[in-house]
Structure 1
Amino acid sequence: MKDFSKELTFKTSRSSGAGGQNVNKVETSVTVLWKIEESEFFNDIQKDLIQIKLKNRINAEGFLFLTVSESRTQLMNKTKAIEKILEIVDKALVIPKKRVATKPSRGQKQKRLDAKKNLSQKKENRKFRY
């Protein structure tokens, strides 16, 4: 996992929800912004991969953003935001393995057919006979 936290910028705002006067007077909610195109930590292929996988989180200016307001303190929210954005980008860089199509084995086929026979036999036995 690459630590690109030096490239992050932060904005603070007032959190919503419970907290009483603390919510009304202290800016504890933290929004972290990262300009993907200007990053020096990733190559062009990785940047493209991040932009494709995280397109819903990227705004029109090309900033990846994330807002955290879980804690009552700005510092805790800032550290959580850094952790989350590093984790999100790290997950976006993972390329999934291609699935190799396989055929069911002979035993699996026989098991399925036996289950079908068993079920049809059970339903046959439920029929009312005169």
Structure 2
Amino acid sequence: MSDNTKAYLHIYCAKNIIVDEQKFSELEHIKGDDLEDVIKVSTDKHIVTANYDLPSNSVFNSRIKAKDISISCPLLEAGKHYVISIYEVTPEVAATEESTFMDYVHAEEIEKGYSICLYRKK
């Protein structure tokens, strides 16, 4: 699946993935080393929507709730790998965190203290 003219989205812990209104099954994809879904996409802007299980912060309800969540991806770089996942962080904090493995690209808050984040692997 190696193609230096395309970008790769590594999507963690998600179900029912849709990229630009195209179903996951219709996209070129594989399972990654960490069992994430890896999708080959163009370097254009994309909207990625998926169903994520989010932790419930209620003392009375410890069940996991599922929710469809979207993130708008900016222009992507050819040959680069990107990670999309839910993190317990605000977009402002995500933008300032440093990692030896990934560079911050974009984040959108989905619930208080939780964001869907897009990082580029180093």
What TM-score do the two structures reach when normalised by structure 1?
A: 0.24
Name whichever structure is richer in strand by fraction: 2
Q: Indicate the structure (1 or 2) with the bigger Cα radius of gyration.
A: 1
What TM-score do the two structures reach when normalised by structure 2?
A: 0.26
